[in-house]
């Protein structure tokens, strides 16, 4: 059985296997992917930066959150009859 298969009219061998699919990607396809992907990626990074920059918490708020969670955890334990909820 041959490792290469002849294709249509140009008779060039086509390698078998999943790692050779990228050899048929032209520069035009790469350029089109970059035109689509780069603005999308930059836009998503900008949105992520906006979300992170608007997240405000200080040490006092963090301690208050920890105390609220500890109180809730103690309430859950007493409501379940002394067995911690998993």
Instruction: Please state the domain extents for the chain.
Output: 4-55, 62-86
Q: How far apart are CA 86 and CA 81, in angstroms?
A: 13
Dig out the tokens for 63 from the structure.
């301690």
Residue of 26 and 50 predicted with greater confidence: 50
Strands (E), the chain: 4-6, 13-15
Average model confidence (pLDDT) across the chain: 80
If pLDDT is split at 50, 70 and 90, which confidence band does 54 have? very high
Task: Please report which confidence band the pLDDT of residue 74 belongs to, taking 50, 70 and 90 as the band edges.
Answer: confident
User: Which tens digits make up the pLDDT trace of 12-48?
Assistant: 555 566 666 667 788 899 999 999 999 999 999 999 9
């Amino acid at each position: 059985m041959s490792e290469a298969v002849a294709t249509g009219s140009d008779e060039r061998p086509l390698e078998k296997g999943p790692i050779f699919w990228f050899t048929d990607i032209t520069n035009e396809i790469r350029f089109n992917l970059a035109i689509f992907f780069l603005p999308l990626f930059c836009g998503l990074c900008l949105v992520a930066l906006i979300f992170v920059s608007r997240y405000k918490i200080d040490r006092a708020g963090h301690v208050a959150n920890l105390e609220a969670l500890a109180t809730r955890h103690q309430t859950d334990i007493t409501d379940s009859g002394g067995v911690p909820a998993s």
